[in-house]
Structure 1
């Protein structure tokens, strides 16, 4: 069960941070604040969400991926605490995620099997969903079209 809650916290934090930089953040923020308030004061949760969103936008503008990752990690840890403290929060979080981010699917019980075949693979294998700015190359190797002279 712990692994399932951890996966849900990771999914929730990723979705939350993704929403913070989207046009739908304003509508989602109130729902997320109510989830985190859970009987406490919604205003303080909303203030934390606003601060995180501003910090995330500043990090994106400065192309500071590490700061963005730190913000996501903070919300992931906070989600894990909520999920560990309140067993019913998992269902509420799943519902919230499906409402604020319809593209996110509930993958409880889903399994993934990957295999690389065809002999030896002398390169990276990448699995995931949204990739950008990836560069692959071996250190010290220069592509033939970039070689000069007698190399």
Structure 2
């Protein structure tokens, strides 16, 4: 049973770290804060602050190219989740449910938009560019007026 809890704690930590740098952070933060607070006896506000601090460090580290930060975050939160599950093995069902929800959300079908364009009017010597959304692009030129 211990090996199963360690594997679950590892999966939970990996999901948490992934959520820290993702768009659904607030939802993940709430779930993990409650999960850890119930099993550690710590104040939920303190855990939430620790999660926010860890997220800030991880986001900054990823911006700066620090590849070790993710490994360190995984180790830290794996240990915390493992201790939480050791304190309350019944919490495994709650952690599994959260992981299942994350998996279901990532497997949800995405909307597919199809576009059909027709080009006419002599484009034999020209360039045609079609795009949906363009983020920041630097073509190496100097900005003009």
Structure 1 partner of 2:81: 79
Q: Using structure 2 for the length normalisation, give the TM-score.
A: 0.67
What CA distance in whole angstroms lies between the structure 1 residues aligned with 2:86 and 2:3? 11
What CA distance in whole angstroms lies between the structure 1 residues aligned with 2:50 and 2:32? 11
Any gaps of 5 or more consecutive residues in structure 2?
A: 108-145
Tell me which of 86, 100, 110 is aligned to 1:98: 100
Shift of 1:104: 7.5
Deviation string 1:24-43 (CA, Å, 9 cap, x unpaired) is: 11122111111111054210
| Mapped contact 1:33–1:45 kept (Cα < 8 A) | yes
Structure 2 partner of 1:30: 30
Deviation string 1:69-91 (CA, Å, 9 cap, x unpaired) is: 10111000111111111111111
What CA distance in whole angstroms lies between the structure 1 residues aligned with 2:46 and 2:34? 10
Q: Whose Rg is larger?
A: 2
Any gaps of 5 or more consecutive residues in structure 1?
A: 106-151
Larger helix fraction of residues: 2
| Mapped contact 1:15–1:97 kept (Cα < 8 A) | yes
Structure 1 partner of 2:56: 54
| Mapped contact 1:6–1:80 kept (Cα < 8 A) | yes
Q: Using structure 1 for the length normalisation, give the TM-score.
A: 0.64
What CA distance in whole angstroms lies between the structure 1 residues aligned with 2:12 and 2:106? 10
Structure 1 partner of 2:19: 19
Aligned residues: 105
SS of 2:17's equivalent in the other structure is helix
RMSD of Structure 2 on Structure 1 (CA) = 1.8
| Mapped contact 1:97–1:104 kept (Cα < 8 A) | no
